[in-house]
Structure 1
């Protein structure tokens, strides 16, 4: 019964403090509101992008090695050395397939930009990606309509194409694109599939705004040695670690390129974990920045709560005296005022969470992302608010509980 009574009186007194001096209360709780807003907003952003990174890694695979000209992560500023390296070639892929034992899938990829034509409809500067047959198994690409090209179509360079979801929509609108012909690189090709909608990704490329062509079709139309950004992709067999596969790949590649024992590699072996670790480091910095900025705001909000509570104690000294004269214990008075401080702090936290939700809703409506205010982050906001209320409300509550009843009743 005492718990219900204390809770009821704490809420009532907190509300009376709010109503009695609205401007003072709003200014005092503004720090709490901004503190919870800063921390929970950053937590929500970090959680969303971390999830996006993990989802992207699942689609690309953490067990994939990319043989490329340039290393990911900048390479320590030695750009001129990397610029002079040769691009990976399709011939190297075929030799690797015969000599390597650790990969389960191996694919070649080369990229150029160009225009697509369907009757009078033109889509400009589309990314045209020439890939070999295993590409779909490495990237786990899902087909929304139609099919992927066969190994025979890939090896023979047949004039077939898969369209990204947005490309198909832009070219054909409501029409079914399967079986229709479009002009690519000056030649008519038949649409055999549409890739499922993927949306933006933190890691790797989204297929929504590109097309996939058999790599040997592109090699007939474009000089392979003029391509910048070619890659050989290798996915490890089950039970084979990435380090095992990289060690084998490095040895075979050095043999293919006839590098002397002491010569440096003239190729890079890239993996998704390099990008992931860089992104996680960035998010860690962002996380701590949010905690520090929000922490200062919460401290300011805590002092605001303490200020409200000291004013509340001074205004209710005679009431405290009456309560003690009627038999109320110091612990009851302490708990009552401490509960009031927690309620005031929770009100500031509620406004902070509401502001966070409003900002996330606006951002989601304006940009192609989905920031979510998760239940866990809501609970963090609630418990943080309550904790600040306890920390900064304890001293005013102790002051009230230690009042002498006779002196308190004489105060007014």
Structure 2
């Protein structure tokens, strides 16, 4: 109880000192405000960007592996000249994996034809992404349908002229109409729309079905060379829930080496890409951005901390006589120390709260004014408050300690 009483009285003294010197208080907390604003803005922006990217990565599937020619990455030591000699994922690879893989929930062979024009009567869509895939595409990718249905197994096997389209394509070709059951022209052929993908919206990795048209692979093989390098053939494998992605990857590696008859000493001539590769690269990138945010904001906080320390020394000088009187009336050293320390902490805390307030207003402006959602989560709020308190303790301790060590007789005589 005694400690709480001293705490309350020290806080009242500190608050009264801040109230009586409003201009000085305002100027001294500017540095802290700018520093906290900078650090929290960087962290909030990075967290938001990281969250959006991770959402895009999650669309690819945490247990999904892509058998491709090129490994994901391309940074640092990337021997592209070696990868260029690799064969593409082939139908032979796909059929062999489908027969032998025991850890896979689904396998699909896919190709992509970019920037295609789609037509329906007088309406047309340019820049559509045309994808052709085997029947298990619905087992290897996450998607919902807003209208219609997925391909039947018979349609996939026989290569029927049917397709699924994204919501942007449906709105562009069939405004105020139902898309299912209508025929559109793609790759010079007429195909019937049997389903429409639910709207997903554009994400940061460009992973979206809104501008995608999906064809059965056996229909596309009559129009293009589905094993050509220009169409980026890949085999998408999604593992069963009971197996880890490492188990699935291990089995695929052994099977692919066996299918391609590679000797034990030979290097892999295929890539097994997974979302953890992207996540690791994102963590590395954002780690650098976080450090940059700390450095930039740290300079502002350092300047603000020196400013507050200087103000506190001035405050001690101005109140030396009062300190002497307090000590002569029985005030202990720790009471004087806490009084000035709380004043420094209060200054930094007010500056930090103002900085957080400005960041919060900025998130509202970005969200409602520019439709850019920036998240200011509780972690960043706690971080901002904690930094403010720590800077307050560091910058205020020495002035407070100096005040607590003053001789009461000499302090009373000072003017």
**What TM-score do you get using the length of structure 2 for normalisation?**
0.88
2:289 to 286, 291, 298: 286
Structure 1's 262 and 390: CA in aligned 2 closer, same or farther, altered over 3 A? closer
Partner of 1:9: 13
2:194 to 180, 192, 195: 192
Partner of 1:389: 392
Is this contact kept in 1: 2:91–2:227, CA < 8 A? no
- Alpha-carbon RMSD across the aligned residues, in angstroms, is 2.7
Between the aligned partners of 2:16 and 2:296, the Cα distance in structure 1 is 32
Is this contact kept in 2: 1:69–1:85, CA < 8 A? yes
Partner of 1:106: 107
Structure 1's 63 and 347: CA in aligned 2 closer, same or farther, altered over 3 A? same
Is this contact kept in 2: 1:14–1:341, CA < 8 A? no
What is the CA deviation profile of residues 171-208 of structure 1, one whole-angstrom value per residue up to 9, with x for unaligned ones?
A: 44444333333222222323333323333445672223
Structure 1's 178 and 201: CA in aligned 2 closer, same or farther, altered over 3 A? same
Map residues 8-407 of structure 1 onto 2, 5 A cutoff: 8-17=12-21, 19-21=22-24, 25-26=26-27, 28-74=28-74, 76-113=77-114, 114-201=116-203, 205-226=207-228, 227-364=230-367, 370-407=373-410
Between the aligned partners of 1:80 and 1:406, the Cα distance in structure 2 is 83
Between the aligned partners of 2:272 and 2:372, the Cα distance in structure 1 is 31
- Give ranges in structure 1 of 5+ residues lacking alignment: none
**What TM-score do you get using the length of structure 1 for normalisation?**
0.89
Between the aligned partners of 1:108 and 1:367, the Cα distance in structure 2 is 40
- Give ranges in structure 2 of 5+ residues lacking alignment: none
Between the aligned partners of 2:308 and 2:202, the Cα distance in structure 1 is 43
What is the CA deviation profile of residues 283-342 of structure 1, one whole-angstrom value per residue up to 9, with x for unaligned ones?
A: 112222222332332222211111121122222223333333444333222212111111
Give secondary structure in 1 for the equivalent of 2:231. coil
Give secondary structure in 2 for the equivalent of 1:224. coil
Between the aligned partners of 1:272 and 1:407, the Cα distance in structure 2 is 70
Structure 1's 261 and 396: CA in aligned 2 closer, same or farther, altered over 3 A? closer
Is this contact kept in 1: 2:170–2:179, CA < 8 A? yes
Between the aligned partners of 1:133 and 1:15, the Cα distance in structure 2 is 73
Is this contact kept in 2: 1:200–1:368, CA < 8 A? no
More displaced, 55-64 or 231-240? 55-64
Between the aligned partners of 2:312 and 2:84, the Cα distance in structure 1 is 67
Is this contact kept in 2: 1:60–1:204, CA < 8 A? no
Deviation at 1:105, TM superposition (A): 0.8
More displaced, 40-49 or 258-267? 258-267
Number of residue pairs the alignment of both structures matches: 408
Between the aligned partners of 1:366 and 1:229, the Cα distance in structure 2 is 40
Structure 1's 21 and 58: CA in aligned 2 closer, same or farther, altered over 3 A? closer
Give secondary structure in 2 for the equivalent of 1:225. coil
Is this contact kept in 2: 1:133–1:151, CA < 8 A? yes
Between the aligned partners of 2:172 and 2:400, the Cα distance in structure 1 is 66
Give secondary structure in 2 for the equivalent of 1:74. coil
